[in-house]
Structure 1
């Protein structure tokens, strides 16, 4: 089912327990509907619904846990008590790769200084050519 618009999802620390309770409630509701369709006696239906209410667990309502504030790029360089905050930072998906010596030498031959006389677009075109050596 597709929904339109933003939806605020709540965090449920005991998701399995909640799912079991929901499955149990739907299973019992389907069973009671099936018994009603088969033409059970009114006494049995009243008795089964009373026992169903006793057996059913109350819905679990846990207040949502506040999510940590999203960090910005400036937060990683901020000092906390004379220590950099990003010393323990690890990338989410660390990737190791090798750069060939021909690519390194081609990049060292044409460094970009950022001066006004140097065209950044021309430098990028040389950079792309150097990276095509791989």
Structure 2
């Protein structure tokens, strides 16, 4: 999967239920490869792996994701913690099987650069600042 990173979360940690006293780390990001299609990717793992992966790219970079696990998303649960996407799926990245490679978009596909500035919602699906000021 190749796309431009349009959003990214901070690294977070949670107590590991399987290994009491240890923590699992996670972070997520959203990639886009067309005007209408974008998808969330989530990675879980050891602190060193997650922090290193998170620091390896930023919003606006193009990434190639190799060997992600493609999983159906639980829409109601997913949308509490992740950006809403048009996809019924999410990408899960595994420390042992997945690879994320970063490259400047102009080296990968210059069309991806224009996707960075497109809104993710329909323009009729939100209020303008003028409407908010006028109507409270």
Considering fraction of residues, name the structure with more helix. 1
Given the two structures, how large is their TM-score scaled by the length of structure 2? 0.18
Considering fraction of residues, name the structure with more strand. 2
Q: Rg bigger for which structure? A: 1
- State the structure with bigger RCO (CA 8 A, min sep 6), 1 or 2: 2
Given the two structures, how large is their TM-score scaled by the length of structure 1? 0.18
